[in-house]
Chain A
Amino acid sequence: MDGAYSRLIPIGAERMHVRIWDADGPTVMIAHGVTGTSADHTPLARNLRARGFRVIAPDAPGCGRSDPSIDPENGYGLGAMAVTVRRLLDSVADGPVHWVGASKGGALGIRMAGETPARIASLVLYDVGTTLPDAMRSVLGERLGGPPRFANMGAFREHVGRFFERAGAGLSSDRLDEITIGWSRRLDDGGVGYHYDPALSNQFRNNPEDFALWPWWDRVACPALIMRGERSNVLSAAELAEMAARNPRATAHTVPGAVHVDMLDSAEMQTTIIDFIAAHAGQGEEV
């Protein structure tokens, strides 16, 4: 599959699935959103690889083909995930990585860069801020805790397509196929369901510190590109401005017309991201 290969990396008693696109250049880690998978941002991964970057894209714990967390109450909080990711990086990366994170993957990047700065060479965030409104937190918690079931792949595909339409994001038919496949799993009764562990919802109740990330953001010292969708309902323009104001090494970028749910497919977004990483890839690293 386009030069990528998959591995199951042991992390304690569990395994994490990670897709790897090998290259000689610096390593970029792509961290997907809360109910996403390592396949979400494949087009971006391919283009990074084409520019010489080595790309690693894991399925987060409880997502895709990675094992669920052994601690469903707290394992999906950013703190526990950071511990797991550091162990993953010990296995699959040499030295600091450039981090690209969407939504929860971005929040995890803020946590990593603020907590263990030597691990992160640069940070690209798509549509994630340091806070999340309480109302949105409880809605997401409820929705994630009770994922729906479908009779077959066609029904699930329709559901995923409606999800993107309601979010205001357009997807081509081919991309809808790819994302449907990535987000699905076969159920015992022969039907189809979402791939993720419903216990992911526990983060919203048990880890309030994950939605108050200013202490970590204030410690981020690496170059950071903070991107926001112009029509985002998660990251306000005001919060983006404050994040940029607090961090002299941060560059703010608003993507015209974009919404929170975005696979980072557009040529404009990918150019912005890849050029940013390339501009910072020479700093303190061996290429």
Chain B
Amino acid sequence: MTGRVQDKVAVITGAAGGLGLAMVEALGREGAVVVLTDIDAARGEASAKALAGSGIPARFVRHDATVPEEWERLTANVLANEGRIDVLVNNAGGGLDMDIESMDFAHYKRMIALNLDTAFLGCKYGITAMKGQGGSIINISSVGGLIGTAALPAYSAGKGGVRLLTKCVAAHCGQRGYGIRVNSVHPGLIRTAAGVEVTRMATGLDEEGAVAAFASLHPIGRVGQPHEIANGVVFLASDESSFMTGSELVIDGGYTAV
């Protein structure tokens, strides 16, 4: 049996639920040895158990992706258990944003930590683990990392930073000959609990009303499903994307095309 990422060791952060969990499942179904991390240990353990129950071996490690020492611990843990890291998906992120006048500085800094520091630390520690053998680092950005909206200044500052950080890190890895590709993924609105919450806050509507309002902004006519983002992550994790680095994979139903 050979899946598209067979036997690659893949670490996915912020993966106890939502998009991250979908990525774990997709990578696992294609043969990867998957490690999911999250700050929510109970949810992470439950997700790992559920995955095992559906035939996907997965290990959970509790991990706060905003803390450097936790990245040291995580990489040492994975190297001791799985032996190497081939794929790192910096998916941890999110948070609830507000317009610039409403937001205080402390909240802004927390949003930057959650969305940009996590990617910075992931790249830094991921490179340390991977540079002997090569690999693929996938930074989850957003359409919010490509275009601005009044309601999401901190989120977009973070996700926009992830876009450019990705290109700089890709250049560095290329120049050093590490064999590490680094790309960003930019999801549009995806039907997850977090995604729906963002739409409700942005529109003030109930769940169905909010999702419908956002769906109409996507030329494809609907919001996305988690597996549609996960499919892109599998592509970037696999050798199928062997000539891609420093680039943006936009999976947004046409949201940023218009």
Is B204 in contact with chain A by the CB < 8 A criterion? no
Q: Which residues of A contact B82 (CB under 8 A)?
A: 116-118
Is B158 in contact with chain A by the CB < 8 A criterion? no
Nearest CB of A to B84, in Å: 8
Complex interface residues of chain A between 204 and 237 (CB less than 8 A to chain B): 208-209, 212, 214-216, 218-219, 221
Nearest CB of B to A93, in Å: 11
Q: Which residues of A contact B31 (CB under 8 A)?
A: 218-219
Q: Which residues of A contact B79 (CB under 8 A)?
A: 118
- Chain A contact patch, size range: 20 to 34
A179-218: CB near B (< 8 Å → 1, else 0) gives 0000000000000000000000000000011001011101
Bound Cα distance from A212 to B57, whole angstroms: 11
Q: Which residues of B contact A119 (CB under 8 A)?
A: 80-81
Bound Cα distance from A111 to B84, whole angstroms: 18
Is A79 in contact with chain B by the CB < 8 A criterion? yes
Is B193 in contact with chain A by the CB < 8 A criterion? no
Is A143 in contact with chain B by the CB < 8 A criterion? no
Cβ-neighbour of A116 out of B1, B7, B56, B59 (below 8 A): B59
Q: Which residues of A contact B1 (CB under 8 A)?
A: 218, 246
A70-97: CB near B (< 8 Å → 1, else 0) gives 0000100001000000100000000000
Is A36 in contact with chain B by the CB < 8 A criterion? no
Is B220 in contact with chain A by the CB < 8 A criterion? no
Nearest CB of B to A242, in Å: 11
Bound Cα distance from A111 to B59, whole angstroms: 11
- Chain B contact patch, size range: 10 to 19
Cβ-neighbour of B57 out of A86, A114, A221 (below 8 A): A114
Q: Which residues of B contact A215 (CB under 8 A)?
A: 55-57
Q: Are A212 and B7 in contact (CB under 8 A)?
A: no
Cβ-neighbour of A79 out of B7, B52, B80, B83 (below 8 A): B52
Q: Are B83 and A219 in contact (CB under 8 A)?
A: no
Q: Are A219 and B81 in contact (CB under 8 A)?
A: no
Is B33 in contact with chain A by the CB < 8 A criterion? yes
Q: Are A209 and B83 in contact (CB under 8 A)?
A: no
Cβ-neighbour of A86 out of B7, B48, B81 (below 8 A): B81
Chain B residues at the A interface, C-beta cutoff of 8 Å = 1, 7, 31, 33, 48-49, 52-57, 59, 79-84
Query: Which 6 A-B residue pairs are closest in the complex by CB-CB distance?
Result: A118-B83, A116-B81, A215-B55, A209-B53, A209-B52, A115-B57
Chain A residues at the B interface, C-beta cutoff of 8 Å = 74, 79, 86, 111, 114-119, 208-209, 212, 214-216, 218-219, 221, 246
Given contacts A118-B80, A209-B52, 12 further A-B contacts (CB under 8 A): A79-B48, A111-B57, A114-B33, A117-B33, A117-B82, A118-B82, A209-B53, A209-B54, A215-B57, A218-B31, A219-B31, A219-B33
